[in-house]
A and B are shown apart, each in its own frame.
Chain A
Amino acid sequence: DTGVSQDPRHKITKRGQNVTFRCDPISEHNRLYWYRQTLGQGPEFLTYFQNEAQLEKSRLLSDRFSAERPKGSFSTLEIQRTEQGDSAMYLCASSGKSAGELFFGEGSRLTVL
């Protein structure tokens, strides 16, 4: 499968714990995005990378959230001190040469108890 892959697909954690999600984009894509989707809503932009540089962060991304893309390939999204309101599907997407189509992964569903 040469699409965007995310891991884990599901994560259940207790409030206050830290969680980390990983995204492997399509190999030749230099732009990588994180979106959050809650039930019944469209995806909301969180942050994006051009190669290893994090170029923009949404105001939705509180200081408990951090994302990295150290070598311009895979990316991680860490949530510290999780809260129940963090429960959502975290979608990763990537894009290539010309701005346009986003290719999404299957998402990592987070449930905070």
Chain B
Amino acid sequence: GENVEQHPSTLSVQEGDSAVIKCTYSDSASNYFPWYKQELGKRPQLIIDIRSNVGEKKDQRIAVTLNKTAKHFSLHITETQPEDSAVYFCAASNVDFGNEKLTFGTGTRLTIIP
């Protein structure tokens, strides 16, 4: 089955700086890579996703890059703000089967230092 590794486990950055979180996956058949943000005691919420037919996707301050050959993908947050503090999870799946059986990474706790 799929295995997703995520690094780092914790990350602290100064407000206004950029944050980068990296994930690798093992199953070359995976073709859908979402990123979820989970605030303390809250539900995971999708912040951005990318499918294997593109290499990069951007949404305001958030971008995701995908390298299919190396089987890794990264989340980039620019101009970080205090409200970006949360745990971020990457995930991978093969949506060709018509379902969202996601394999999640172990999470990165991001702390924005004011």
Residue B29 CB within 8 A of the other chain: no
> Among B12-20, B42-50, B62-70, which stretch is in contact with chain A?
B42-50
Contact present for A106 and B42 (CB under 8 Å): yes
Chain B residues with CB under 8 Å of A102's CB are 34, 46, 100, 102
CB of B52, distance to nearest CB on chain A (Å): 13
CB of B109, distance to nearest CB on chain A (Å): 9
- A100-B49, A100-B95, A107-B43 are contacts. A33–B100 as well, Cβ < 8 Å? yes
Within 8 A of B (CB), among A4-62: 4, 31, 33, 40-45, 48, 50, 55-56
Contact present for B32 and A91 (CB under 8 Å): no
- A40-B107, A41-B107, A43-B89 are contacts. A99–B44 as well, Cβ < 8 Å? no
Chain B residues with CB under 8 Å of A40's CB are 106-107
Nearest residue (CB) in B for A41 is: B106
Contact present for A45 and B95 (CB under 8 Å): no
A50 to B95, CA, bound (A): 14
Q: Which residues of A are in contact with B by a Cβ distance under 8 Å? A: 4, 31, 33, 40-45, 48, 50, 55-56, 91, 93, 95, 99-102, 104-107
Top-4 shortest CB links A-B: A42-B104, A99-B95, A104-B43, A102-B100
